Amino acid sequence: MKTNKIINAKFHEPKLSVQATLLTEQLKTRFLTYSNQCYLLLDPFLRDFIDDDVINERINSNQVTYIPIPHPSIDKTKVPFILPLNLNQQEDCNLLFHSVYESLFESHPERIDMGDGRRFCGWLAANSNTQLPDLARYIGQVAIQRLSEDRTILLRFYDPAVLSQLWPILSEVQKRILFGLAEQWTVMSGEAELHTFPAIEAKLFGAHTLGLSDEQYSQIRWIGAINCGLCTYRRSDNAPWISELQAHNLLMPIFGRLQNYTFHYYDELERLSVRALTIHPCFDLHPLLTSRVIGESSTISYSDFVKDISEQQWIKIQKDCIANYGSLSELLS
């Protein structure tokens, strides 16, 4: 289906409310096996909830549990938090609908492009013996990953846009460690559908470390650029719709091939994503470009790699890549 058809069918009223109602009922069904107990995960990192009376009321009445994240880049007033919902109560069912509706609304590509971020991060399920403070503490501990004795990173896996790209990178053991006490982790996908990540044999791991390899860390560093490129692509009309997983599979290979090139600015990585989706995911393999690096003894910059390629040359590159590697639609099938 084309990008404009997906957006018009699910992200605009009155179809937005219809979709929100449908997905809310789906969520209720999923939480039946958990005694109708749902944990709503929220993140005010980029935008607080001062404009959301429904959530703000729960915050002011101390009904939320904050996730402690000991990292200098996170203001203590901007940490994510969990709001427990008892779906046996109509008031909490209404709040569940509110969270679904708002999650759909903020997932619109134009809203994402505005930089508002995703405040409604997902709906978690846990065993009845799980204590909410333990769940919150575990998420905060896993969010800090140690790469070496003197280097740690903030892994914002609770952001649904990050999680969708992170999941294929991790091993099965790492996935189990990632979720810890959560038995199900459901997010709103870019297609305005629910996607549940299963946490098999969920339990509390003591170490909280994923043991990320250098290759995995490199791929994690590309997630932001891939998501930005995908957002830009989705705003173009009449293009084949690309899911987060499809974007991952299409773009990780070209990022890997070009990882030794010098990228002077972060937006160069974003432009690489857009070009790979709009021209071809294998455009870097075209002779017009590979001939530029033959005989080079040192690493060249990405900007030099694509410098002065004319519009007509890009058209030729696209045509030749489609002939040699298949069209985007074929690669997605």
Please report the pLDDT score of residue 203 as a whole number: 60
Helix or strand run (H / E) with residue 220: helix 214-221
Segments making up each domain of the chain, as ranges: 3-211, 223-332
Please report the pLDDT score of residue 293 as a whole number: 77
Residue 266, token pair as written in the block: 């972060």
Residue 81, token pair as written in the block: 């938090």
Residue 318, token pair as written in the block: 């696209």
In this structure, what DSSP letter does residue 34 have?
A: G
Neighbouring CB atoms inside 10 A of 13's CB total: 8
- Measure the CA–CA gap between 37 and 59, rounded to whole angstroms: 19
Residue 242, token pair as written in the block: 């690309």
- Measure the CA–CA gap between 123 and 27, rounded to whole angstroms: 8
pLDDT digit string (tens) for the chain, length 333 residues:
666 666 766 777 788 999 999 999 999 999 999 999 999 999 999 899 999 999 999 999 999 999 999 877 788 889 999 999 999 999 999 999 999 999 999 988 888 888 788 999 999 999 888 999 999 999 999 999 988 778 889 999 999 999 999 999 999 889 988 988 899 999 999 888 999 987 665 565 566 889 999 999 999 999 999 999 999 898 876 678 899 999 999 999 999 999 888 887 788 899 999 999 999 999 999 999 998 877 665 677 888 889 999 999 999 999 999 999 999 989 998
Please report the pLDDT score of residue 9 as a whole number: 67
Q: How far is CA 209 from CA 139, 142, 153, 182, 197, in A?
A: 11, 6, 11, 16, 19
Give the contacts of 152 (CB within 8 A, at least 6 positions apart): 71, 144, 145, 146
Give the contacts of 18 (CB within 8 A, at least 6 positions apart): none
Please report the pLDDT score of residue 201 as a whole number: 58
Residue 278, token pair as written in the block: 């709009």
Q: Are 140 and 68 in contact (CB under 8 A)?
A: yes
14 preceded by cis ω (within 30°)?
Answer: yes
**Residue 264 identity (one-letter amino acid):** H
- Measure the CA–CA gap between 118 and 207, rounded to whole angstroms: 28
